[in-house]
Amino acid sequence: MQAPYPYFGESMAIMAALIFSWTSVLFTTAGRRLGVTLVNLLRLPGATLCLALTHLALTGHIWPQNLSPVDQLWIGLSGIIGLAIGDSALFRAFVTIGPRRSMTMMALSPVFTVIIAWSALGEHLGMWALVGIFTVIAGVMLASLGRDSGSGEFGSIEAKVLRTGLLLALLASAGQGLGSVFAKIGMSGGTSGSLGVDPLGATLVRLSWATLGYWVVVLPKQNIPVLFQKLQDRRGSAALVGAILMGPFISVWISLIAIKNTEAGIAQVLLGMVPIFVVAPAWIVYRDRPTVLSLLGVLVAVAGGALLFLR
């Protein structure tokens, strides 16, 4: 289906990033109050249920029809890598070093995406697109490096804890980049010769596979009654519900619309601008006041985004 207007995919990527910037704060709150394991166990099936009901309402079917096994495998693997493994690592980084520091490493996800998409999808980007990519990354890094003097909740962190959190975020970055490429292969029917699947159906498949993979590995190791007692924390539970609706449901759906309607590398760069948009919610919720360096990074990243539209 043809995009409804020029740069539709790019605008959807920016919208998804804006939504996820607030989602990252909600997941941080939920993870700190309920525990990362409980958050991860509930976020995936919760979003899957929302997507399944939405898919049923819009298409009359609870599962995508005529989806080839090969396409489902690619999309499913993208869910396991990007959502079960990658996002789980990211949410643990959120509660360890905070959303702003975590998103510093997420700025590298476009690099992983571009490298993989270049070889796997043949997406050879032009000079201005490459300049724009590296400009956005530079801006995001500047914005994330600028932080307050230590008065915020994540202002003072031990070096060992900081290294662990950054490595978790790096794992999440690689997972997101690889997952984006796998999802595009499955949605486009690139290896099966089929017509592929629409973004809503692909999001449902991704989340279903991610849920199954995470639950099979993690659930048997848990003390279920003790684990779910934490849901009595009303503030944490409310944050989790809001995060599920905004993140794995709405934001992931919109991000796949973006990936399907533009080059995977371009989409991932714009999706990677979450650290730019997270400045405001991080300031409001965690007193993580942006510095001059942060604001300079915002301007650089916006300029890089403009270069992507000029490619």
Task: State the Cα–Cα distance between residues 71 and 33, nearest whole angstrom.
Answer: 38
Phi-psi sector, 223: left (phi>0), alpha (psi -120 to 50), beta: beta
pLDDT in tens, the chain (311 residues): 567 888 899 999 999 999 989 998 999 999 999 999 999 899 999 999 999 999 999 899 999 988 889 999 999 999 999 999 999 999 999 999 888 778 878 877 877 887 788 777 777 777 887 888 888 888 887 876 655 555 567 767 788 888 899 899 999 999 988 998 899 888 887 666 667 788 889 999 999 999 999 999 999 989 988 999 999 999 999 999 999 999 888 988 898 889 888 887 788 788 878 878 887 887 788 776 767 887 788 788 878 877 776 65
Q: For 245, what's the count of Cα atoms within 13 Å in the CB-facing half-sphere?
A: 5
Among 278, 284, 233, which residue's Cα sits nearest to residue 38? Answer: 233
Task: State the Cα–Cα distance between residues 78 and 120, nearest whole angstrom.
Answer: 14
Q: For 30, what's the count of Cα atoms within 13 Å in the CB-facing half-sphere?
A: 25
Lookup result for tokens 């905004």: 246
Task: State the Cα–Cα distance between residues 6 and 94, nearest whole angstrom.
Answer: 35
Rounded to two decimals, the pTM is: 0.81
Lookup result for tokens 């919760």: 46
Torsion sign across C-alpha atoms 87, 91, 94, 99: positive
Which residues fall within 8 angstroms of residue 163, CB to CB, at 6 or more apart?
none
Lookup result for tokens 């394991």: 37
> What length does the chain have?
311
Phi-psi sector, 198: left (phi>0), alpha (psi -120 to 50), beta: beta
∠ CA 263-261-107, nearest 5°, is: 50
